Amino acid sequence: MKRALRQLSLVLLLAVGAWLWTVFFPRPEVVIQRRLAKVAQLVSFAPKEGNIARVANVQRLGGYFADGLEVQLGDARLKDHTFTRREELLQACMAARQAVAALQVRFVDVQVKLGAPADHAAAELTLEANVAGEADPIYQQLRFDLVNTNGDWLITRIAAVKTLTP
């Protein structure tokens, strides 16, 4: 009886230890997915966002991007845009917050693949953006390239994935 109780306690202790390990030391794929979800949250904004919150969210968003940044977005409604610096992207985000009343962004079907160097990764996902006043959401396939810099996964490149259209 005591032996079975000790074995059960040991198994329980190992299970709790494994769970704590995953909480405090998550896999890079999980960390990247969480960071991308936070980027989507920071890009989104409500209709009555105050000026201080607007500026603060855009500034916080800048911390998720590397200095040498390349962003190539394009779709019928988004038009083709290319940004080569983080400041350009942040200015465009601020302009978007002033141009539309509200924006809700989600990244769905996020698939993360680690690169050959362990500090590089790529994430392919689908952007779903709901713009206030428009009936149809915007869907765009995107590829994010990320690099691990001082423990943070920073976005170095965002590119629209060309899809076949009928």
120-131 and 103-114 as β-strands: parallel, antiparallel, unpaired? antiparallel
pLDDT at residue number 58:
92
Order of strands across the sheet with 138-149? 81-85, 65-73, 152-160, 138-149, 120-131, 103-114
Domain 27-160 has CATH 2.60.40.10: no
pLDDT in tens, 45-75: 988 888 888 889 999 999 999 988 888 876 5
The candidate with the shortest Cα–Cα distance to 36, out of 120, 117, 145, 114, is 145
- Whether pLDDT at 30 is above 80: yes
- Whether pLDDT at 6 is above 70: yes
The candidate with the shortest Cα–Cα distance to 161, out of 111, 119, 106, 101, is 111
Sequence-distant (6+) residues with CB within 8 A of 151 are none
How many CA within 13 A on the CB side of residue 163? 13
> What pTM was estimated for this model as a whole?
0.82
DSSP conformation class of 41: H
- Average pLDDT (137-141) is 90
| Domain layout of the chain by residue ranges | 27-160
DSSP-derived 3-state class of residue 103: strand
Model confidence band, residue 132 (pLDDT cutoffs 50, 70, 90): confident
Model confidence band, residue 165 (pLDDT cutoffs 50, 70, 90): low
